[in-house]
Chains A and B, each alone.
Chain A
Amino acid sequence: MSSTYGGWAGNVLRVNLTTGQITTESTNKYHDYIGGMGIGYKVLWDDHVDGIKATDEENKLVISAGPLSGSGAICSARTTITSRNPVIRGHLITDGHFGGHFSPELKYAGYDAIIIEGKSSTPVWLKIVDDKVTLEPADSLWGVGVFDTFATVSKMMGQQAQVAAIGPAGENLVAQSTFQTQGGHSAGGHGSVLGSKKLKAIGIIGTGRVEIAESTTNEQLRALDDHILGIIGANNQGVVPKEPQSWAEYSGGSSRWRGGPGVTWGAADDPVILEETPWDDRQKVGMRTSMAEMYFGREEANKIFKRPGGCHSCPIRCFCELKNPKMKTEYNLPTEYLTNTCMGFLDPWYSMGKPGNGEKKTDIMTIGGYYMDDLAIWSAYGQLSHLMREFTKRSFWEILLPAEEFAAINWEQYANLDAHFMQDYYTRIGLAKSYNGSNYFGRFLGTGLHNFINDEGELYNIQDVLDGVETPRMAELTFALEADLEHDYAGKTYSVFLDEGTHVFNRSMVGGLHHASEAAGQVGALLATVFNRDPQCHSHINLINCGLPYAKIAEVAESMWGENAFDPVKHYTAMNVAKAKFAKWCLVKNVLHDSLTVCNWMFPLLVSPDVNKDYLGDSSIESQMFSLVTGIETSEQELDDKAERVLQLHRALTVLQMKEPDQRNNHDELCEWVYDMDPEAAFGDEGTIKMDRDDIQLGLDLFYEEMGWDKATGVPTRATLERFNLGYAADKLESLGLLPA
C-alpha cells in the first residue's frame, strides 16, 4: 500500500490507448474527493476539453472504486464509470455504476481507479494481473457477445478473473449501450465510449489485499458489521415483510422483504421452501429479499427462481438467479439460466406493453433480458422501452419507418406477446447500421431521444436525422388516442414532453423518470433537476418505501429535515424548506455512496426492523465504516461535506461543459406532463402526483438556497465553491463568464 491510510489501494492506473502507454499515479491527490465518483469527476474536470463528443478521442473514461470496496464493509462492491455520455443532450458527463465483484478485484490488484484515454487503432483488451498490466489484441473478441467475451477472457487469464466488457452495441457505437461485468451487472451510457476507443474488455486478477487501518481491530470490524445487521432491511431498506409474519408488527407497503412463507426457490436443485424470515435471524438475511415474485408474480417466480444473488460483501441479495428451460428448448439460446434485476427484466416487459403475469411475460423478460445483456444494450432506465411501447400504441412506426422496413418487422409476434420478438428487436438496436437490412427502427431507439426532437419535444423525421440531413423535416406526428382527448391534445402535434407515457422527466436534459414526483413529491422532482441523466438516487426511496406506517416515516423525516418534509405519496402539500433540505440530503448521500463506493440501493439506513430501537436506524454508518477502514476518524457531517464537494464539482463541471450560465432555465426544467397530467385534478388533490409550476419554481428557490447556488441561475456561487475548497473551479468558471456575479 502506497498510502498511509487503510482502504485506498494507493494507485490509479492511466491507460493511453493511442500511445499504448500505461502508467500509475498516486491516489493521494483524490482523497479529498473520497474515491469512486469523486475520482471520476475530478479527473474529468482536470482534463476537461471543450465541445467534444463522448466518442471523440479526447474524451476520457474513469472506472473507479472507493476506499470501502474490497474492505469487507457491507454492500461495498459498486464500481463507478464516469465519462461524457452520448445519450445526454450535449454529451454531458454522467456516472453509471455496476455491482458484482469487479471493484474489489481492482483493489486487490492494487488500484483504486483506471483512467482510459485516447483511442486504439485496433481492438484491444486490458489485462491486469496485479502490477502486470498489458494491452492485448482483441480482434477475435470484436463482435462477440458479452457472455462469450467473459468466458474467453477468463479462459485466457484464469477462471478467477473478474471481467468487464462491452458488447456488440458498444462496438457499433450505439449510444444506449452498457459496460458490464459478470453476474448480470451493467453500467449504462458508456458502452459506445469504450467502443469508440476500441477497448473491448478489462480482465483483472488481484492477489493482494485491501489494508485496514492499523488502529482498527478485527473485533471493531465485526462489531460494526453486527451493528449494521441489526439495522439493515431488505432491498431498498424495506424493514417490514411484504406479507404478515408472526414476528412483525407491521407488513405491506412497498417493502421488498418478499422472502417468507409461500415463497420457494423452486428452480434450485433441491427446492428451498422459505419459512418466516425474522429480522434477527442472521442466517436468513440473505433470504429476506427473494424478490423474483416482484417481477414475475409468485406463481411464476416459484417455478423459475433458483436463488437470490448480487454483489461482493452484500448479505441482502437483490438479484434473481433464474432458470427458464424454455430459453433453450423453445428459443434456442445456449443457456437456460439468467441473472439480473430491475431493468434487466423490466425493459423487455415495458417494450411489449406490460402484459400480466404468466408464462408469456416470463418468457419476454428472460429472453429479452438475455439479448439485452449479451448485446450490452442500455435502456436509460426504461426510456428506450417506454418509447417503443408508446410509439407502438400510437402507430407511429408506420409513419416513421420506410414501408419495407416496417413490413419486415414481425408485428404479429409483438401483438401476440411472443417472446421470439425479442431477438430481432434487441438485435436491431444492438447492431444498428451493422444490422442486415434497413434499420432506422433500431438506430432510432439506440441513438438517444435528444437527437430526434426539437425544443418543444416534437419529433423530426428520424430517417432524415439518421441520414445526416442538415435540416431534417418534421415527423408530422399527432396526438390521436382517445386518452389524448381529456388533455385537449387530440389533433395537436405530438411532443414527448407532453406525453407522460414516454417517462421523459427532465425536459432540459431529456432525462428519464426515476423515482421523481411519484415518489416523494417535490423532493423526487427536485432530485431530477441536478444530474444529467436519470437520477439514480435511492436515498429517499430507502426511507419512504421501507414499509413502516406513514406516520412513522413522517416522524423520521421531520426529525431529520423539519416539519412536513414528507407528504403521503399522491397527496402532496406545498413546497417548504424541509423538503428542500430533504432533497439536498438525498443527493449528498447518493454522491457519498457512489464515491465510497457503497450501495445506494440499500444505504442510507434511517430506519430499522427492530421495534426495540423504535424502528430507528443510524445515518452515520457510512462514516463509521470509513473511519474504521481508513483510520481517519471522520464524523458523519465531515464525510457528507466531502461528498458535497463532489456534488458541487459535478454541478460546476456541468456548467463548464454546457458553457451555460443559466442552469435554472436550461438544465433544470421539467416536462409539461409533470404539471399537466390528470387534467381533472389540481395539485395537492389526493390521488394525483401532478406538480404545480409555481410551486416547483419555489422549490428551486429553496433548493438552490440549501445548495448555495445562485437563485437566478442555479450555478454555485464563488463562496459556495470556496467553502468546499473548489476555488479552482470558481476561477475557471469566472474566467469564462459562467460564475454568478
Chain B
Amino acid sequence: MITRRALLANGAKVAVGTVYYGTLASFLTGCGSSDDTSESTVVKVLPGGLMVVNPVYCVGCRRCEIACSWSHGTSAVSPSTARIKVDKNLNFGPHGVQPNYEDQRGEQGDGTIVPSTCRQCDVCMTVCPQGAIYVNETTGARVVDEALCVGCGYCADKCPQQVITIDSITRKSLKCDLCEGNPNCAQVCPTGAIKFYTWEDAVAAVEQHEKYLTLI
C-alpha cells in the first residue's frame, strides 16, 4: 500500500491509468488519514485531472463561482448551482464557527479562504442508483447524464467535498465537468489560485489544500 507520506517522500507520481486503493484514495477524495481504515474505496485515475485551489493565493472574489454559473445551462448566477463552493467556507473556514473563530480559517479568522472543488473521485459515480454518472474518456471528468439523473441526491449527500448540488428547478445533479477540459473557473481566477492539475501533478497541490482543512 502506498501511504501519502511515502508517496511524497519518494517523489512518486500518480500515474495515468493506475488504480489506487485505501490511503491515497482517501487523500484524493479529501477524507482525513484517520479514516483510512478501509481498503474498499477505489480511485481509478484516467487521463485528465482535477481542479485544486491553493488557499494562499485565493483572494475570495468568487469569480470562479460566477464563471461556473456562466458556463453551464442558463446564465443565472448562483453559488448554489456553481460546482465549486467558496461561500460555505468563506467567513469561518471549513469547520464553521468555532469558539476560537479568530484563529480558524476564513475571512473572520486568519483570512485564509479555503474553497472546495470536485476531485473527480468515483464516490458519486459509485453511489448513483441510476448509473447516471459516467467518465468522460477525454477529460476524465465524472459527468452527470441528465437524461438518467432523477435528482435523488445520493451523490450530493455522499460527496466527500460536498460540492455536488441538486438544482432546485431542474432536479438534476450539478457537478464539476471540467468544462470539457478548459475550466472556466481557472480562466477567470485573478491570482491563479485555482488550477487544473493533471493527476501526475495533483498530489502536491492537494496536499497543500489539505493543510487548510484541519481544525486549528
Interface residues of A (CB under 8 A from B): 6, 70-72, 101, 108, 147, 150-151, 154-155, 159-162, 182-183, 207-212, 214, 216-218, 221-222, 225, 268-270, 272, 282-287, 306-317, 321-323, 334-335, 337, 339
Q: Is the CB of A182 within 8 A of B107?
A: yes
Q: Is the CB of A307 within 8 A of B59?
A: yes
Known contacts A221-B70, A314-B61; is A159 also within 8 Å of B92 by CB?
A: yes
B residues contacting the other copy or chain, number (CB 8 A): 45
Known contacts A72-B77, A207-B80, A270-B56; is A154 also within 8 Å of B91 by CB?
A: yes
Query: How far, in angstroms, from A6 to B76 measured CA to CA in the complex?
Result: 9
Known contacts A309-B107, A313-B61; is A108 also within 8 Å of B80 by CB?
A: yes
Query: How far, in angstroms, from A447 to B55 measured CA to CA in the complex?
Result: 42
Choice from B63, B88, B108, B187 contacting A313 with Cβ under 8 Å: B63
Choice from B62, B71, B87, B192 contacting A218 with Cβ under 8 Å: B71
Sample (5) of A-B pairs whose CB atoms are under 8 Å apart: A147-B102, A154-B96, A159-B97, A272-B57, A285-B190
B 172-215 binary contact with A (CB < 8 Å = 1; else 0): 00000000000010011111100000000000000000000000
Query: How far, in angstroms, from A210 to B78 measured CA to CA in the complex?
Result: 6
Choice from B61, B78, B92, B112 contacting A315 with Cβ under 8 Å: B61
| Interchain pairs with CB closer than 8 A, number | 150
A-chain residues with CB within 8 Å of residue B89 when the two chains form the complex: 159
A-chain residues with CB within 8 Å of residue B188 when the two chains form the complex: 225, 282, 315
Q: Is the CB of B192 within 8 A of A151?
A: no
Choice from B77, B78, B109, B191 contacting A287 with Cβ under 8 Å: B191
B-chain residues with CB within 8 Å of residue A337 when the two chains form the complex: 102, 109-111
B-chain residues with CB within 8 Å of residue A272 when the two chains form the complex: 56-57
Q: Is the CB of A207 within 8 A of B77?
A: no
Choice from B59, B108, B111, B192 contacting A323 with Cβ under 8 Å: B111
The chain B residue with its CB closest to the CB of A269 is B56
Q: Confirm or deny: B40 has a beta carbon within 8 angstroms of a beta carbon on chain A.
A: no
The chain A residue with its CB closest to the CB of B106 is A159
A-chain residues with CB within 8 Å of residue B69 when the two chains form the complex: 72, 209
Least distance between A271 CB and chain B CB atoms (Å)? 9
Q: Confirm or deny: B75 has a beta carbon within 8 angstroms of a beta carbon on chain A.
A: yes
B 58-70 binary contact with A (CB < 8 Å = 1; else 0): 0111110011011
Least distance between B167 CB and chain A CB atoms (Å)? 10
Name B24-72 residues within 8 Å CB distance of A: 56-57, 59-63, 66-67, 69-71
The chain B residue with its CB closest to the CB of A75 is B61
Q: Is the CB of B70 within 8 A of A222?
A: yes
Least distance between A228 CB and chain B CB atoms (Å)? 11
Least distance between B194 CB and chain A CB atoms (Å)? 10
Q: Is the CB of A221 within 8 A of B80?
A: no
A-chain residues with CB within 8 Å of residue B101 when the two chains form the complex: 151
B-chain residues with CB within 8 Å of residue A339 when the two chains form the complex: 107, 111
Query: How far, in angstroms, from A317 to B191 measured CA to CA in the complex?
Result: 11
Interface residues of B (CB under 8 A from A): 56-57, 59-63, 66-67, 69-71, 74-81, 87-92, 96-97, 101-103, 107-112, 168, 184, 187-192
The chain A residue with its CB closest to the CB of B107 is A183
A-chain residues with CB within 8 Å of residue B78 when the two chains form the complex: 108, 207-210
Q: Is the CB of A313 within 8 A of B107?
A: no
Query: How far, in angstroms, from A312 to B107 measured CA to CA in the complex?
Result: 13
Q: Is the CB of A335 within 8 A of B102?
A: yes
B-chain residues with CB within 8 Å of residue A216 when the two chains form the complex: 75
Choice from A70, A282, A316, A323 contacting B187 with Cβ under 8 Å: A282
Query: How far, in angstroms, from A283 to B193 measured CA to CA in the complex?
Result: 8
- Report whether over half of chain B's contact residues are helix, strand or loop; otherwise say mixed: loop
Q: Is the CB of B111 within 8 A of A321?
A: yes
Choice from B61, B92, B187 contacting A310 with Cβ under 8 Å: B61
Query: How far, in angstroms, from A210 to B80 measured CA to CA in the complex?
Result: 11
Known contacts A221-B75, A334-B102; is A154 also within 8 Å of B92 by CB?
A: yes
Known contacts A222-B70, A269-B112; is A315 also within 8 Å of B62 by CB?
A: no
Query: How far, in angstroms, from A155 to B75 measured CA to CA in the complex?
Result: 32
Q: Is the CB of A283 within 8 A of B190?
A: yes
Known contacts A222-B184, A317-B190; is A147 also within 8 Å of B61 by CB?
A: no
Q: Is the CB of B190 within 8 A of A282?
A: yes
Q: Is the CB of B190 within 8 A of A315?
A: yes
The chain B residue with its CB closest to the CB of A157 is B97
Least distance between A603 CB and chain B CB atoms (Å)? 16
B-chain residues with CB within 8 Å of residue A217 when the two chains form the complex: 75
Q: Is the CB of A160 within 8 A of B87?
A: yes
Q: Is the CB of B74 within 8 A of A212?
A: yes
Least distance between A122 CB and chain B CB atoms (Å)? 25
Choice from A282, A312, A335 contacting B62 with Cβ under 8 Å: A312
Least distance between B31 CB and chain A CB atoms (Å)? 20
Query: How far, in angstroms, from A287 to B59 measured CA to CA in the complex?
Result: 9
- 4 tightest A-B CB contacts, nearest first: A286-B190, A209-B78, A72-B66, A212-B75
Least distance between B153 CB and chain A CB atoms (Å)? 14
Q: Is the CB of B56 within 8 A of A268?
A: yes
Q: Is the CB of B74 within 8 A of A214?
A: yes
Least distance between A253 CB and chain B CB atoms (Å)? 23
Q: Is the CB of A209 within 8 A of B63?
A: no
B-chain residues with CB within 8 Å of residue A308 when the two chains form the complex: 59
B-chain residues with CB within 8 Å of residue A210 when the two chains form the complex: 76-78
Q: Is the CB of B189 within 8 A of A155?
A: no
Choice from B70, B107, B184, B191 contacting A284 with Cβ under 8 Å: B191
Q: Is the CB of B76 within 8 A of A209?
A: yes
Least distance between A692 CB and chain B CB atoms (Å)? 45
Query: How far, in angstroms, from A322 to B111 measured CA to CA in the complex?
Result: 8
The chain B residue with its CB closest to the CB of A210 is B77
Q: Is the CB of A101 within 8 A of B87?
A: yes
Q: Is the CB of A211 within 8 A of B76?
A: yes
The chain B residue with its CB closest to the CB of A100 is B107
Known contacts A150-B91, A334-B102; is A70 also within 8 Å of B59 by CB?
A: no
Least distance between A343 CB and chain B CB atoms (Å)? 19
Known contacts A182-B91, A272-B56; is A212 also within 8 Å of B61 by CB?
A: no
B-chain residues with CB within 8 Å of residue A162 when the two chains form the complex: 91
A-chain residues with CB within 8 Å of residue B90 when the two chains form the complex: 101, 160
Q: Is the CB of B70 within 8 A of A309?
A: no
Query: How far, in angstroms, from A281 to B66 measured CA to CA in the complex?
Result: 20
B-chain residues with CB within 8 Å of residue A183 when the two chains form the complex: 60, 91, 107-108
Query: How far, in angstroms, from A161 to B57 measured CA to CA in the complex?
Result: 23
Q: Is the CB of B80 within 8 A of A306?
A: no
Q: Is the CB of A286 within 8 A of B96?
A: no
